[in-house]
Structure 1
Amino acid sequence: MATVLLLRHGRTTANASGELAGRRPVELDETGRTQAARVADRLAGLPLSAVVSSPLIRCRQTVELALPGATPALEDGLIECGYGDWEGRPLKELAKEDLWPVVQQHPSAVTFPGGEAMAAMSARAIAAVRAWDQRVNEEHGPESIWLACSHGDVIKAIVADAMGLHLDQFQRIAADPASITVIRYTPTRPFLVRVNDTGELASLVPRKTDGEKPAEQSDAAVGGGAGAGV
């Protein structure tokens, strides 16, 4: 079967300010544009058989910078989770909501107020990436490589499925801005080839925080966050 490169969009203005972007038309900031441009070097020479993207502008901007001249197919199944009433709010404010610990520990039970269920997000994203992988495999052969640009929680859900994990464990997975995660699907099982690969070790150094409690450090950033090394 084909191999898919799951590219998360570069850092956005919302990532930088600590807000949950959701499906708002939030664009890349300067750091995000630099991150996306660096992806171009990492992808150089790869014979991509297809390029697919979430329709949100931050993903389209990332593809434009990472693959100049490419015209991605827009796939609604890869769009960001619908966070509903949570969209646009600071993460530090959302962390005080009663729903926050459920998002952290039991996301399969979460439906965001005025928004989407995390289980529904997971199901439609997995279905979309598997359908595209089958299509690429049939049209271009089992040795083909293709790229899909999407969002942090979406990519984490796809990775959890590939690893045979319950959605309640997907918060253990990281997908930093402009990272690439690689999955190779086969008739019997997927293989996770790489995960959260940014091609630089500096991102492994934890960011300094002021007065942050250990329990808070264990929380996953809803929406994917701004990454580790920025």
Structure 2
Amino acid sequence: MRLVLLRHGRTAWNAEERYQGHTDIPLDDVGRSQAAEAARRLAGHHFDLAASSPLVRARATAESVVDGRGLDLVLHEEFMETGGGTWEGLSFTEIRTQWPDDWTTWRSSHLDHGPLGGETPRQSGTRVVTAITRMVGEAESTLGTPETMLVTAHGNCLRAAATLLTGMDAAGMGRLERLRNGAAIVLEGSPQRPGRWRIEAYNA
């Protein structure tokens, strides 16, 4: 099956380079345009399942893509961003100034290096993968194996999920470039073969 992992459009906090995490920040004007562009880009793709983080920036992006498709959008907390702990709401400059060593470690994009007092990417990526596996399993029991699934969520947790799905080592996340707002990771694989998925397109 094909899995499309779509990052939400831009928010004011993205533009200001603030750590958002679980804080519920809406799309800004640029973000709404990016969501509309993602909808146009994905218009020719059929989706059997669509899920999203409940945070408004992801939900609004997902709604742009699924609008008019007659497809139910399922919201799951498991698709929320990596929790930022002490860093939520702080600018990257503030974080780098107050916690220089922790900042450097976090920016290495290692699966086991998370924000101070928050989650690690491994934790957030694991809950994303677990939720995807559960949704696909539920669909298989009633409709058969879905061909394509859309998950709209957040940059850090989606990169972590892609790292886990493809079976890269913990440092492999750092080899994946940061996911742009409104862009997607497209993977091909089987839910029965975790760790064996392949990346078909990145920042697409």
Q: Same fold (TM over 0.5)?
A: yes
Q: Is the Cα–Cα contact under 8 Å of residues 121 and 160 in structure 2 kept in the other structure?
A: no
2:168 aligned partner: 165
- Residue in 1 that maps onto 2:187: 183
Would the alpha carbon gap of residues 43 and 111 (structure 1) be closer, same or farther in structure 2, given more than 3 Å must change? Answer: closer
Letter in 2 for 1:104: R
| Stretches (4+) displaced over 4 A | none
Among residues 128, 132, 139, which one is paired with 2:131 in the alignment? 128
Gaps of 5+ in 2: none
More deviation in 9-18 or 154-163?
Answer: 154-163
What is the CA–CA distance in structure 1 between the aligned matches of 2:145 and 2:201, rounded to whole Å? 18
Identity of aligned residues (%): 29
| Alignment match, 1:148 | 151
Q: Deviation digits for residues 35-54 of structure 1, max 9, x if unmatched?
A: 10011212223221111001
Distance in 2 separating the partners of 1:133 and 1:183: 15
Q: Is 1:12–1:32's contact at 8 Å kept on the other side of the alignment?
A: yes
Counterpart residue number, 2:21: 22
Correspondence for 1:68: 67
Tell me the C-alpha RMSD between the 2 structures.
2.0
Change over 3 Å in CA distance of 1:185–1:138 after alignment to 2: farther
Tell me which amino acid in the other structure corresponds to 2:93.
K
CA distance in 2, matches of 1:137, 1:178: 29
1:156: Cα distance to partner? Answer: 0.5
Q: Which residue of 2 aligns with 1:107?
A: 110
Q: CA deviation at 1:142?
A: 4.1
The alpha-carbon deviation at position 109 of structure 1 amounts to 3.9
Task: Provide the rounded CA distance (Å) in 2 between the counterparts of 1:8 and 1:140.
Answer: 27
What secondary structure does 2:152 align onto?
strand
**Deviation of the 1:169 alpha carbon:** 2.5
The CA distance in 2 between the partners of 1:108 and 1:6, in whole Å, is 18
Q: Tell me the CA shift for residue 143 of structure 1.
A: 5.9
Measure the CA separation in 1 of the matches of 2:109 and 2:161: 17
User: Which runs of 5 or more residues in structure 1 are unaligned?
Assistant: 198-230
Q: CA deviation at 1:71?
A: 4.1
Take 1:102 and 1:110, find their aligned partners in 2: how far apart are those partners? Answer: 6
What are the superposed Cα offsets for residues 52-108 of structure 1, whole Å, 9 maximum, x if unpaired?
Answer: 001111001111222225541011111111111101111122223221122133734
Question: 1:112: Cα distance to partner?
Answer: 3.5
Whichever residue aligns with residue 61 of structure 2, its letter is T
